[in-house]
C-alpha cells in the first residue's frame, strides 16, 4: 500500500447486546502507533457514513479509550475532535436534559440528564496533551462518548 495516501475503512458498528459495549476500555498509551492513527481515521469515516455526531472506539469493536466527535460550532478548530484517553470534569453544577440517540442502539432516543459544561483533557494523535471546554450539545456528545469508554450506555443514565 502507498504510505502517502490515507486509506480509510468503514468499521462495523457494535449493536446493543454486544459485550464490547459493556466493557471498560483500556488506555491507549502511545497514540503515535500507526494502528491507532488508522483506527481514529476509520472512526471519523464510520461516524460520518452513519451520520453520527460522535463515536467511541468500543462501538467499532476496539476496546480502547478513543473518541471522535463533530465540533461544528468551533470555526477555529475545523474537523472532528479526536480525543485519546479523554477525561471530563464538570464545569459548574448546572445540568440539563435533552434527547439522545446512539449508533449502537438504532431507532431509539431517550431523555438524558448531562452536565451543561465540561472541561476536557486528552492526548492528541501526535502525543501532545490537549485541553478544552465544551458546553451544550458538544458537552453532551463528549459525555455520551466517554461513557462508552466506561461501558455505560445512555439508557443507564435515563431517569
What residues are labeled active site?
A: 145
Q: Is 81 in the site for Ni ion (CB under 5 A)?
A: no
Q: What are the DSSP E strand ranges found in the chain?
A: 54-56, 66-69, 81-90, 95-100, 110-115, 117-123, 129-135
- Distance (Å, whole) CA 9 – CA 14: 15
C-alpha cell at position 69 = 466527535
Query: Applying CB under 5 A, which part among 5-13, 30-38, 101-109, 126-134 lies near Ni ion?
Result: 101-109
Q: Is 82 in the site for Ni ion (CB under 5 A)?
A: no
Q: Is 102 in the site for Ni ion (CB under 5 A)?
A: yes
* Count of residues in contact with Ni ion, rule CB under 5 A: 1
- Distance (Å, whole) CA 42 – CA 49: 10
Query: Applying CB under 5 A, which part among 25-33, 43-51, 99-107, 129-137 lies near Ni ion?
Result: 99-107
Q: Is residue 91 within 8 Å of residue 133, measured between CB atoms?
A: yes
**In 10 A of CB 93, how many CB atoms?**
8
Measured from the CB of residue 56, what is the shortest distance to Ni ion in angstroms?
7
Measured from the CB of residue 15, what is the shortest distance to Ni ion in angstroms?
11
Measured from the CB of residue 128, what is the shortest distance to Ni ion in angstroms?
27
Query: Applying CB under 5 A, which part among 2-10, 11-19, 97-105, 133-141 lies near Ni ion?
Result: 97-105
Residue with smaller CB distance to Ni ion, 82 or 102: 102
77: phi > 0 → left, psi -120 to 50 → alpha, else beta; which?
Answer: beta
Residue with smaller CB distance to Ni ion, 7 or 156: 156
Residues near Ni ion, by CB under 5 A? 102
Amino acid at each position: 500500500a502507498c504510505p502517502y495516501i490515507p486509506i480509510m475503512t468503514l468499521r462495523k458498528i457494535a449493536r446493543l447486546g454486544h459485550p464490547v459495549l459493556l466493557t471498560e476500555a483500556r488506555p491507549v498509551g502511545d497514540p503515535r502507533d500507526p494502528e491507532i492513527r488508522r483506527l481514529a481515521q476509520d472512526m471519523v469515516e464510520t461516524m460520518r457514513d452513519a451520520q453520527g455526531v460522535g463515536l467511541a472506539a468500543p462501538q467499532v469493536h476496539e476496546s480502547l479509550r478513543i473518541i471522535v466527535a463533530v465540533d461544528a460550532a468551533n470555526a477555529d478548530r475545523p474537523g472532528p475532535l479526536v480525543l485519546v484517553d479523554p477525561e471530563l470534569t464538570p464545569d459548574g453544577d448546572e445540568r440539563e436534559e435533552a434527547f439522545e440517540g446512539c449508533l449502537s442502539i438504532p431507532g431509539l432516543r431517550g431523555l438524558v440528564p448531562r452536565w451543561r459544561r465540561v472541561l476536557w483533557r486528552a492526548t492528541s494523535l501526535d502525543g501532545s496533551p490537549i485541553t478544552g471546554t465544551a458546553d451544550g450539545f458538544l458537552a453532551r456528545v463528549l459525555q455520551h462518548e466517554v461513557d462508552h469508554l466506561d461501558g455505560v450506555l445512555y439508557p443507564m443514565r435515563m431517569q
